Amino acid sequence: MVPLECKSLEILPGTLAGLGFLLSDEVVVSHWAVAKIGERFFLDPMSITRHRRSAVVLAAAALGSVATVAASSPAQALTISTFSDSVDAVSPAADAIFGDGTPATGLSKVGSSFSFNKSGIQVTFSDPMKSTTSAVSRSNNTLGTCLGGQRPASVAVCGNNPNGPTPELNKITLTFNQAVKLLSAAGVTRSIVGDTMGDNIISSIWTTPGSSASFIATNSDNTMNPGDVTLDPFDFMFSNFIAQANTPVTVETSFTQGKLDYWVQNLKVEAVPAPGPLPLLGVGTAFACSRRIRRRCKVSRRIEMV
């Protein structure tokens, strides 16, 4: 009679393979444990009939390693401060003007881009409008980093050349050094210098390969005094927005009314774990173990037939 354990093993290789794909790098020791349990209970043909419950033990060990994965800590959400002089700024500055264009009088450039880094996750803001001489962006120590602005030609906004077209900045890119899940972007909209009263509307579209999101931000400018500043907060919440490493996220902005700009002050992100080779090693170990067990079971069957 073929031992019950050998019959049970006919379904275990597929089961172990499926479980192996669920195992993470942190519990690779569980792969080893599964293999050793199989070796202990099954590799000796003479011990097969003495361990009626060993197949259950092996499956329980595999399930235990999956439970270890389920109990592991979730990815940590990080908030990157995008004020020009924040602790997250790679090269802090009181007023960072960057891009390939010519800044307004009295403003000097710090380079073609501006970066922030929090716990190893770095984001770099760049201005893709390189063919336009008015394309310069700005990161400020009180407002944050400008995402876009529509101003009269006589007013320097977002670091743009005051003689540039309107809108002076309607596209900017964010590039992360590693894959992240973008959770939120918060900041303020700003109207100034006697802008049109009423709700000034901003449409903000974020795109990257495989993900996109669109938002509306408003600024309720109710002042009658030229020169007064109205700041209204916004908080864009993303859903399953993944930014791949070194792949730009493009932010395009349109302004339906009014003269205003908007500034991001913090980005909340979550690192996306990169798949590693160790789970595959666990699957290979499980298959190797099951193949050896099958060979031993075949020997047991031949002995029994004799």
In this structure, are 294 and 227 located in the same domain? Answer: no
Average pLDDT of the segment spanning 61-77: 55
Same domain, 149 and 115: yes
| Predicted local distance difference test score (pLDDT) of residue 261 | 86
Of 84 and 73, the one with more pLDDT: 84
Provide the residue range defining the domain that includes 102: 77-271
Q: Which residue has the higher pLDDT, 163 or 252?
A: 252
Q: Do both 225 and 83 map to the same domain?
A: yes
Q: Pick 159 or 34 by higher pLDDT.
A: 159
Domain co-membership, 128 together with 23 = no
Tally DSSP H helices, then E strands, for the chain: 5, 14
85 and 47 fall within a common domain: no
* 93 in the same domain as 230: yes
- Shared domain for 261 and 187, answered yes or no, is yes
Instruction: Kindly tell me if the per-residue pLDDT of 33 is higher than 60.
Output: no
Shared-domain flag, residues 243 and 288? no
Separation of CA 92 from chain center: 24
> What is each CA distance from 306 to 76, 88, 293, 296, 297, in whole angstroms?
61, 75, 20, 16, 14
Q: How far apart are CA 234 and CA 206, in angstroms?
A: 15
For the cut 60, the answer to whether the pLDDT of residue 225 exceeds it is yes
pLDDT at 197: 58
Query: Which of the pair, 179 or 166, is modelled with greater confidence?
Result: 179
One domain, residues 246 and 135: yes
Percent of residues, the chain, with pLDDT higher than 70: 52
Shared domain check, 48 and 108: no
Res 34 pLDDT > 50: no
Contact 264, 144 (CB under 8 A): yes
Reported confidence tier of residue 186, pLDDT bands at 50, 70, 90: very high
Do 181 and 127 share a structural domain? yes
∠ CA(74), CA(246), CA(240), 5° rounding? 40
Predicted confidence band of residue 175 (pLDDT cuts 50, 70, 90)? very high
Average pLDDT, the chain: 73
The model's pTM is 0.68
Q: For 65-76, what is the mean pLDDT?
A: 54
Whether residue 70 is predicted with pLDDT greater than 80 in this model: the reply is no
Give pLDDT, residue 288: 66
Q: What is the pLDDT of residue 90?
A: 97
Q: Rounded distance, CA 33 to CA 69, Å?
A: 15
Q: Are 89 and 191 contained in the same domain?
A: yes
Higher pLDDT, 261 or 160: 261
